[in-house]
Amino acid sequence: MKKIVKYAHYLHRKGFTAGNAGNISVLYRNKIMDVVAITSSGSCLGTISEDEIVLLDLDGNVISGKKPSSELHLHMNLYKIRDDINAIVHTHPPYTVALTMKDIRIERPEGVPGNKKFLEEIPYYRPGSIELANACSKKLKKEKILVLKKHGLVTCGSSLEEAVNLTELVENAAKITYISSQ
């Protein structure tokens, strides 16, 4: 839980989230029961504390904590279809979002695995909707990065560090693309 708070504050300081936008989760796999730790609904990643982290089972039942993030379905769907994913970061990085508003695709950053030149993206769906969660699940079956048009970014990793690193790499690529397109 300390790592979630640490990286939430870091992402907010970097400007990848604002206000109460964005969410983070980590799946802790063990022999007794898998547990998902996710930021709570309405929490600000810049000021979040450990008591604002919600613990759930893989069916989405709250074990402890407040109300989970409105993007709970997005997180839970991905953990159910990807055994290699243990962390998910959903942010609203400004350059990434700005490019989607201009219909400019983001090239896959150097060093990010994948065969396609451009990052996968999906059209706009209402934040927190089942439609958004389902669209993300379909596109993220083999990818670790998904651009949400006019909304944000979802990155997944085997660790929280990897998911945060992918967020930074994408936003840096988006920033370079944006600046060079001016």
Helices and strands (DSSP H and E) totals, the chain: 5, 8
CA 120, 84, 170, 89 torsion-angle sign: positive
Q: Which of 71, 120, 143, 171 is catalytic?
A: 71
Q: What is the pTM of this model?
A: 0.96
CATH 3.40.50.1010 fits 2-180, yes or no: no
Separation between Cα atoms, residue 182 and residue 176, nearest integer Å = 10
Q: For 31-58, write each residue's pLDDT tens digit.
A: 888 999 999 999 999 999 999 999 999 9
Cα 10 to the center of its chain, rounded Å: 14
Where are the chain's structural domains?
2-180
120 is catalytic: no
CB atoms within 10 A of CB 38: 26
Percentage of the residues of the chain whose pLDDT score is greater than 90 = 90
Cα angle, residue 75 at apex, residues 157 and 162 outer, rounded to 5°: 15
